[in-house]
Structure 1
């Protein structure tokens, strides 16, 4: 019963409320509340700060969350080895990825991976904004840039440039910017990453890189839509080469200001804190790394 209550605790954490956790688990809110109370009584601590509108983890709750994912993952791996043999992988994996690369690269890897391991189920959530890997229960997340949370473990998938580009139709109407400063006279299509607006574009690789604050008539938190607007000729974008490589290759988009390119950014897999990942998570990480090394 303790293990079942810990699993329910993880569901409450991921869903953010007792009612939502009950729906997910097929239990009434009263039953969820009683089982949470039993878990808190077992450990002699309060796991959630409760208000009428929200739940948030206490320090003890976060400690349990970090350890519970590891322990339950090991239990599931053990059950798989006993029931199906040491080489069988099974169980759920929850993945977060940016929208563009999630729809292309990550989705292709997942399709191949689940075909090879049919006992594994994968939930893929696409978002270009910040995600709380631990709080939202992700087993791994892909993100561009340097990871600022030192508690997370990472695996580097490579270094990739961000490219300023636009459709030939936009360039034909508005001309080609010759320097970064010329972007002030162009319509730039801007991404929003969570609460951060990506309107300060960086150029150059010296000790004092050049920054330009760009403006435009469209802002969105969806990288795929920014790319689509650019393809339709609405403005200039700044995107990872992974997202626009095919468009550049066939001429749907044209790279701009190549002489001012900034250093590449890392693409990393991030994992929650803990001593080890379940075998199925390690296997998916290997599949993603191998696919990227082979050129997708």
Structure 2
């Protein structure tokens, strides 16, 4: 049982993000937390965390220990739940990561409905302006759009979704409407800073034609709602997910541009890091997510 407790301790430590934060959560001293980590590493003969005075990160061995350890802890919890007759086996703490805008608009309501169906589950929802590492931050589920860069994660596609190019009618009256993606180089494009490698690069496809266009403009932000607001004010052209702009397009506040060109897909997926064993709370949440999206009038952009 000491090995199981060590796995649980390491999960708390990684979720907390620092020795001092873990110590507060465990109600022990930072020195005791550091000593226990050192004892685990000595027993295993590997370094689990790379750490200095200001930060810590998982080593390759630490990532494996955390990922497989959480699965083991989850399986033990599931076994104990199965031995309790007459009780809902969907229980425990569930940690979710989603984007700020989508999380506020859709996932918060989803979580509210989910815990009504499964009252023995507690949910910790963390919204961020960029996807966070599920393993290192000890998240059970992440809500993602588009292609997944991390091949070690498992994903379930929840719904098709499109990105759209659009601008306010007033801007198009002043600057003209692009007829081809290359025309965007002559327009004021409002850029969302999410991926520094692809900053200001917009990609398009029509049939076999594929092209990338370097765009620029006088406004950029790391917040999608701000970029949409600037477009509504007539400052320029934006590329956003359908759920963010469909309502504005429907009432004429924004106009879709170049609809015949496909932008990089933005399908909605639930991702998780569990390998062979997926805890019931995770399976239940993902199933509920798919059911909820199917029953909700979620804009897809015509996909």
Common topology (TM > 0.5): yes
Residues of 2 paired with 1:39 and 1:85: CA distance?
A: 37
* Aligned residue in 2 for 1:257: 258
Task: Output one character per residue of 1:99-141: Cα deviation in whole Å (capped at 9) or x when no partner.
Answer: 3222222222112112222222222222342422211111111
Indicate if the aligned counterparts of 2:184 and 2:215 stay in contact, CA closer than 8 A.
yes
Deviation at 1:194, TM superposition (A): 4.6
Per the alignment, in what secondary structure is the counterpart of residue 217 of structure 2? Answer: coil
CA-based RMSD: 2.3
TM-score normalized by the length of structure 1: 0.89
Indicate if the aligned counterparts of 1:189 and 1:236 stay in contact, CA closer than 8 A.
yes
Deviation at 1:214, TM superposition (A): 0.9
Residues of 1 paired with 2:67 and 2:77: CA distance?
A: 16
Deviates more, 1:1-10 or 1:105-114: 1-10
Residues of 1 paired with 2:163 and 2:289: CA distance?
A: 21
| Structure 1 alignment gaps of length 5 or more | none
| Structure 2 alignment gaps of length 5 or more | 299-303
Deviation at 1:187, TM superposition (A): 1.6
* Aligned residue in 2 for 1:207: 208
Q: 1:182 to 1:12 in 2, by over 3 A?
A: same
Q: 1:17 to 1:180 in 2, by over 3 A?
A: same
Residues of 1 paired with 2:10 and 2:186: CA distance?
A: 53
Q: 1:106 to 1:11 in 2, by over 3 A?
A: same
How many equivalent pairs are there?
296
Residues of 2 paired with 1:16 and 1:131: CA distance?
A: 13
Q: 1:120 to 1:194 in 2, by over 3 A?
A: farther
Q: 1:60 to 1:260 in 2, by over 3 A?
A: closer
Indicate if the aligned counterparts of 2:94 and 2:124 stay in contact, CA closer than 8 A.
yes
Instruction: Give the 5 Å matches for 1:1-296.
Output: 1-83=2-84, 85-262=86-263, 264-294=265-295, 295-296=297-298
Indicate if the aligned counterparts of 2:206 and 2:260 stay in contact, CA closer than 8 A.
no
Indicate if the aligned counterparts of 1:130 and 1:194 stay in contact, CA closer than 8 A.
no
Deviates more, 1:72-81 or 1:212-221: 72-81
In the TM superposition, structure 1's runs of 4+ consecutive aligned residues that sit over 6 Å from their partners are none
Residues of 2 paired with 1:239 and 1:49: CA distance?
A: 37
Per the alignment, in what secondary structure is the counterpart of residue 258 of structure 1? Answer: coil
Deviation at 1:279, TM superposition (A): 0.4
TM-score normalized by the length of structure 2: 0.87
